[in-house]
Amino acid sequence: MADDQEEPPLAIRIDQTVEEPSQSDQEKHQNDYVSVGVTVITGYLGAGKSTLVNYILNAQHGKRIAVILNEFGEEIGVERAMINEGESGALVEEWVELANGCVCCTVKHSLVQALEQLVQMKKKLDHILLETTGLANPAPLASVLWLDDQLESSVKLDSIVTVVDAKNLRFQLNRHRDSSSFPEAFLQIAFADVVILNKVDLVSQEQSECALEELENEIHSINSLANIIRSIRCEVDLSQILNRQAYDATHATHLEALLEESKSLSSRDLHDSGVCTLCINQMEAVDLHKVRLWIEEILWDKKYGMDVYRCKGVLRVGNSDQLHTLQAVREIYEIVPTRQWRNEEKQMNRIVFIGHNLDENILIDTFRGCI
């Protein structure tokens, strides 16, 4: 039976009625309030998304994790899914509690309503998983969860985890390599913070290590920032996929480490796969206003014909002793001061782009205009 057709775990129904907290309760919990991280799980049909969800829901990991299985598909769209239908249009199915303390529900339309119900529950949650059953492209959902005011600070986007099938990935990537349209697998890898290379046991043993290394190189040619985890039946260390803080501007150490790994990356080093990663570097301090205009021309106006999926960077801003971080998902971007530059650090600008039709020379030349 295919991974994505597995039976759901046994569950016990719990009361989803939310009681209004008293004023004393609100005061009691006000100080220890912490927003809950959301991990988006995506992947090609049959790669093992359901296997991963079932593993998390059944494992004795000591964490209280909520899993939302959405069924809102492309035909409804993310915009509709993010609308709170209210009591009269309640479309969230009942929450169920599992033996290991996790909770689970299926969402047909109102994702916001499901998230609001979760954060109102009395029992503290450690994390939320959102399996994107009906969405091939996680970008719109990630954009909304990342910087959407409707959700305030109750939840925060933690990371995007993409599950890929080690045995069939190359075939899936090669199907439309020479086409103007790209299969789901490209987009899902391009937006991923973590890629689970699942079913490694099904790769022929004679060429196993060499074949897996080639697959990892293929994944990194699309997205050099993704952390790759090999797995059998998606049995992974949860610390490798939860609490990644990939979208937390204050978590600069992780970002700097990723950028350090990509500092020598150039489009000249990559195979012509259409979707790729490249990195630009510049030593001179930049004007923050000019950088905003520059990134908006690329992301919003598509001025140079490049389609940027993800963007991460550190900036050396003129007249500032603060290291600034840049992050973008499609058209949404954020530039924030993160911390002071350290004395031993070489102050510079380094930006990693993941996308289609990227032109390294244009990016370098136009970025010089931000000095």
Which domain CATH number covers 327? 3.30.1220.10
Indicate the DSSP class of residue 249.
T
DSSP 100-113: TS-EEEEESS-HHH
Q: Are residues 206 and 342 in the same domain?
A: no
What CATH number does residue 160 fall under? 3.40.50.300
Quickly state the pLDDT bin for 252 (edges 50, 70, 90): low
The whole-chain average pLDDT of the chain stands at 75
| 71 shares its domain with 188 | yes
338: tokens are 């993160």
pLDDT at 84: 34
Average pLDDT over residues 183-200: 88
pLDDT tens-digit map of 314-367: 999 999 999 999 999 888 899 999 889 988 888 899 999 998 889 999 999 999
Q: Is the pLDDT of residue 280 over 80?
A: yes
What pLDDT shows up at residue 50? 83
Tell me: do 77 and 207 sit in the same domain: yes
Per-residue pLDDT at 297 exceeds 90: yes
Domain count, the chain: 2
Query: From CA 102, how far away is CA 95, in angstroms rounded?
Result: 10
Cβ atoms of residues 366 and 304 within 8 Å: yes
In tens, the pLDDT along 97-149 reads: 555 556 666 655 566 667 777 777 656 778 888 887 655 677 777 777 776 55
Residue 353 confidence (pLDDT): 93
Could you write out the DSSP letters of every residue in 307-369?
EEEEEEEEEEBTT--EEEEEEEETTEEEEEEEEEPPTTS---EEEEEEEES--HHHHHHHHHT
At residue 271, the pLDDT reads 44
CB atoms within 10 A of CB 289: 9
pLDDT at 318: 96
Q: What is the pLDDT of residue 26?
A: 45
Give the pair of three-digit tokens for residue 158: 């933690």
Task: Name the band, by pLDDT with cuts 50, 70 and 90, for residue 371.
Answer: very high
- Nearest to 310, CA basis, from 281, 334, 339, 286: 334
What does the alpha-carbon distance between residue 121 and residue 140 come to, in Å, rounded to a whole number? 27
**pLDDT for position 185:** 74
Q: Are residues 229 and 301 in the same domain?
A: no
**In this structure, what is the dihedral angle of CA atoms 166, 171, 172, 176, given to the nearest 10 degrees?**
150
pTM: 0.77
Q: Nearest-CA neighbor of 83 among 119, 118, 111? A: 111
Q: Are residues 224 and 259 in the same domain?
A: no
How do residues 30-87 score in pLDDT, each as one tens digit?
A: 444 567 888 999 887 778 888 888 888 787 778 888 888 765 444 334 333 333 333 4
* 196 within 8 A of 234, measured Cβ to Cβ: yes
Whether 26 maps to a domain, the answer reads: no
How many CA within 13 A on the CB side of residue 124?
8
Please determine, for residue 265, whether its predicted confidence score (pLDDT) is greater than 60: no
Structure tokens at 293: 């205009």
Q: What is the predicted pLDDT for the residue at 62? A: 81
Statement to judge: residues 91 and 165 lie in one domain: yes
pLDDT of amino acid 122: 52
Domain that holds residue 189: 36-99+106-240
- Identity of residue 294: W
Tell me what pLDDT residue 79 has: 36
- Paired tokens of 333: 């971007």
Same domain, 63 and 173: yes
Whether 67 and 189 share a structural domain: yes
Is 8 within a domain?
no
Is there a domain that residue 17 lies in?
no
- In this structure, of 40-49, 147-156, 218-227, the range with the lowest mean pLDDT score is 147-156
